[in-house]
Amino acid sequence: MSIQLHQNIQISSFVSPGHLENNQFLIQCEHLNYVVSTPVKTLIESLILYQNSNETLVESYFTTTQRNASEQDIITLARQHIPKELFANTEITDQRNPFIFSMTLLPERFLSLFSVLLTPLFNKWLCLITIVTLISVHGSLLAQISQSATLGIPIGSIPTFILAMLFSYFIHELGHISACQRYNCPHGSIGFGIYLVFPVFYADVSKAWRLSQKQRAVVDLGGLYFQSMLIIAIDCFAYFTESQLAYVVSWTITFTMLHTLNPFFKFDGYWLLSDLSGITNLHDKMRTSLLRVKHKILHGTPLNFREDTTLYLLMPYSALAMLFFIYVATFLSRKLWQTGQDIASALSKIQGDSLSESFTLMFEKETLLPLLKTTMWAVLFVLLLSFYLKRIKNLLVQDNNLEAENK
Amino acid sequence: MNNDNNELNNEYTVEALEARFEMEAVVDDGGATADGSCECKITW
């Protein structure tokens, strides 16, 4: 056979904005996902038919496309338009992920034991009851919860606090996984990683691309939904036992839930916005839309809102994202300056002729640990700041492809 | 118009979709204060 695709390619329809007619298709092969137009889809179908039947390539192509073409033309078209990773002679590389570091904590097989049992929780009446209960219980206790949070917890309660938070993260990720299972969509593992500079827990739901926009939104909200149930239980426990620790846990979970709705990083808010709007690869498209604005300003290239209606969302999103990144960069710069002053102040307290004397003196005066802590924060702020500056640079950097496209 | 539609339908387009990792960052409130102000920080 002169041309062959991987055997496990799956094709399904894909709805995206700007394509009211159903002429977009999802091609899935292991962890790879592509949205393709009808001609690419039929080309792939003709190759699959060719592999699985006794027809020649020319016959298979005619069967699926109703067009005549020579074998060489079909091969050329396939090489030109089908992603090379789908060809059998190309080894599928490991899944690309957004993490600097990542490790699987709970594998797919283990999770499927739980996720199957939890799917009944995605009942619309139960969802409604949970939301109403969350608003009434958490809302009525919020003042007390926030007041308790200012008091903090004793050192002895810290291990329990950490365990409670780890359980909360696990419940959150299990919510995403169970939502996938609810729609009979295969799911991946739960793990821990470093995203940009954030330590994160994650659930791999890459196969969820095959679901409808609404179902994907449910997967996105599954984590918050499960955490809502947890927070109701914690609030009730805190109320009846007057547990300071429970109030602090409730407050911290509330904060993480709000934090994950941030749409500018790839947290739940990002995926929710992407799925509700139907705009895929939101970050890439944000970069492209910013470049379009730049070309509009510099060269007068029209933005064509009528042709590309996604710009109505992408433009304000991109502008807000830029403002957000600039705000955070400014905030980090201020913190870095302040931390630098703290270090200078701590160092000025060092007395003694030798380094060892200085360290002994600092240890005795209990200034060594605060200095180390301040230095650690300084390093962290430098890392954060460098990331943000790089991020802003990437948004503004010249894109050669778009440059060529606009000329 | 029909020709335009045909042309559009005949376009060979491919978009690779990004991997979906639903993430929740490990953060805390950084110590909320009574006046409602707070300072965010990361818990390592």
CA angle B23, B28, B30 (to 5 degrees): 145
pLDDT tens for each residue of A130-143? 999 999 999 999 99
In a domain, B30, yes or no: yes
Q: B36 in a domain, yes or no?
A: yes
- Residue A16 has a CB neighbour count (10 Å cut-off) of 17
Long-range CB contact pairs, A203-206, < 8 A, 24+: A203/A173, A203/A174, A203/A176, A203/A177, A203/B21, A203/B22, A204/B19, A204/B20, A204/B21, A205/A176, A205/A177, A205/A180, A205/B20, A205/B21, A205/B22, A206/A31, A206/A33, A206/A95, A206/B19, A206/B20, A206/B21
In this predicted structure, what is the pLDDT of residue A399?
Answer: 47
Q: Is A333 exposed, middle or buried, given 0-12, 13-18 or 19+ CB atoms closer than 10 A?
A: middle
| Burial (0-12, 13-18, 19+ Cβ within 10 Å), A303 | middle
Residues of A in contact with B35 (CB under 8 A): none
Domain that holds residue B35: 19-44
The answer as to whether B42 is a domain residue is: yes
pLDDT tens, residue by residue, A273-299: 999 999 999 988 888 888 888 888 988
**The predicted structure's pLDDT at residue A147:** 86
Contacts of A266 (CB under 8 A, 6+ apart): A98, A195, A283, B21, B23
Q: What is the pLDDT of residues A206-237, one digit of tens each?
A: 999 999 999 999 999 999 999 999 999 999 99
Distances in Å between the Cα of A122 and the Cα atoms of A160, A178, A223 are 30, 9, 12
Nearest CA in chain B to A31: B19
Provide the token pair at A134. Answer: 């969350």
Cβ atoms within 10 Å of A13's Cβ, excluding its own:
12
Cβ-based contacts of A200 with chain B (< 8 Å): 23-26
* CB-CB under 8 Å, B23 with A268: yes
Checking if the pLDDT of A126 tops 90, the result is: yes
Quote the distance between the C-alpha of residue A167 and its chain's center.
20
Whether B39 is in a domain gets the answer: yes
Nearest C-alpha in B relative to A216: B20
3-state secondary structure of A375: helix
Which position has the higher pLDDT, B29 or A47?
Answer: A47
Q: Quote the tokens at residue A265.
A: 């990083």
Q: What is the pLDDT of residue A256?
A: 94
Residue B24 forms part of a structural domain: yes
pLDDT at A202: 97
Specify the higher pLDDT residue, A355 or A2.
A2
| A14 interface with B at CB cutoff 8 Å | no
The ipTM (two decimal places) reads 0.82
Tell me if B2 is assigned to some domain.
no
Taking alpha carbons only, the member of A187, A107, A168, A97 closest to residue B24 is: A168
Given a cut of 70, whether residue A357 has pLDDT beyond it is no
pLDDT band at B35 (very low <50, low <70, confident <90, very high): very low
**B19/A96 touch (CB, cutoff 8 Å), yes or no:** yes
Is B31 a domain residue? Answer: yes
pLDDT number for residue A336: 81
In a domain, B10, yes or no: no
State pLDDT tens for residues A71-83.
999 999 999 999 9
* DSSP for residue A267: B
Q: pLDDT category, A186, cuts 50, 70, 90?
A: very high
Q: Which of A59-68, A240-249, B23-32 has the lowest mean pLDDT?
A: B23-32
Task: Give per-residue burial for A128-160: e unless 16+ CB within 10 Å, then b.
Answer: eebeeebeebbeebeebbbebbbeebeeebeee
- A85-124 tens-digit pLDDT: 999 988 888 888 888 889 999 999 999 998 999 999 999 9
SS3 B16: strand
- Taking the C-alpha atoms of residue A90 and residue A72, their distance in angstroms, rounded to an integer, is 20
Cα distance between residue A141 and residue A232, in whole Å: 10
Provide DSSP, A17-81. Answer: TT--SS-EEEEEETTEEEEEEHHHHHHHHHHHHHHHSS--HHHHHHHHHS----HHHHHHHHHHH
Distance (Å) from the C-alpha of residue B3 to the closest C-alpha of chain A? Answer: 16
Tell the residue number behind the tokens 């020319």, with chain if given.
Answer: A58
Find tokens 């802003």 and name the residue.
A392
Residue A402 pLDDT: 43
pLDDT digits (tens, 9 = 90+) for A4-48: 999 999 999 997 665 555 689 999 999 999 999 999 999 999 999
**What are the residues facing B24 on neighbouring strands?**
A201
Tokens in use for A8?
Answer: 């496990």
CB contact (8 A) between residue A36 and residue B44? no
Nearest CB to B22: which of A38, A39, A176? A176
What's A94's DSSP letter? P
Q: Number of folded domains in chain B? A: 1
The answer to whether A236 touches A137, Cβ cutoff 8 Å, is yes
Chain B CB contacts of A82 below 8 Å = 14
Q: Which residues of A touch B17 (CB under 8 A)?
A: 26, 33-35, 209, 280-281
Phi, psi of A30 (to 5 degrees): 50, -120
Is A31 an interface residue toward B (CB < 8 Å)?
Answer: yes
